[in-house]
Amino acid sequence: QVHLQESGPGLVKPSETLSLTCTVSGTSFTNYYWSWIRQPPEKGLEWIGYIHYSGNTNYNPSLKSRVTISLDTSKNQFSLKMTSVTVADTAVYYCAREYSSSSGLDYWGQGTLVTVSS
């Protein structure tokens, strides 16, 4: 059974770096894209970016300058780092798996709330 679980600090100060990890079980990393998506309070879903198992990455243009996604298959994890956060980055952050853009994001983590506040 495929399972994804986000982990990381629930509170980050403005201007600091947000770091989250997604631990994956029940699936190989091979052939998949591993994505991060977020949902600010009372708003819709926003794609942050993905990393392919090959190491190729792609980021939302509006976040690209602040975001890095990395992969550690030895630990069955992939991670998100977002620098210079502001209150606008407060959101529930989800990790998810996708085989291709036409196959959809088929498995998601439960999500983790990150609040940016001093």
Partner 1 sequence: QSVLTQPPSASGTPGQRVTISCSGSSSNIGRNAVNWYQHLPGTAPKLLIYDNHQRPSGVPDRFSGSKSGTSASLAISGLQSEDEAVYYCEAWDGSLNGQVFGGGTKLTVL
Binding flag, residue 108, partner 1 (CB under 8 A): yes
CA distance 57 to 36: 11
- Closer to partner 1 at the Cβ: 83 or 110? 110
Select from 116, 117, 113, 106 the least CA-distant residue to 3: 106
33-62 footprint of partner 1 as x/- string (CB under 8 A): --x--------xxxx-xx-------xxxx-
* DSSP for residue 2: -
List residues binding partner 1 (CB under 8 A).
35, 44-47, 49-50, 58-61, 94, 101-106, 108-111
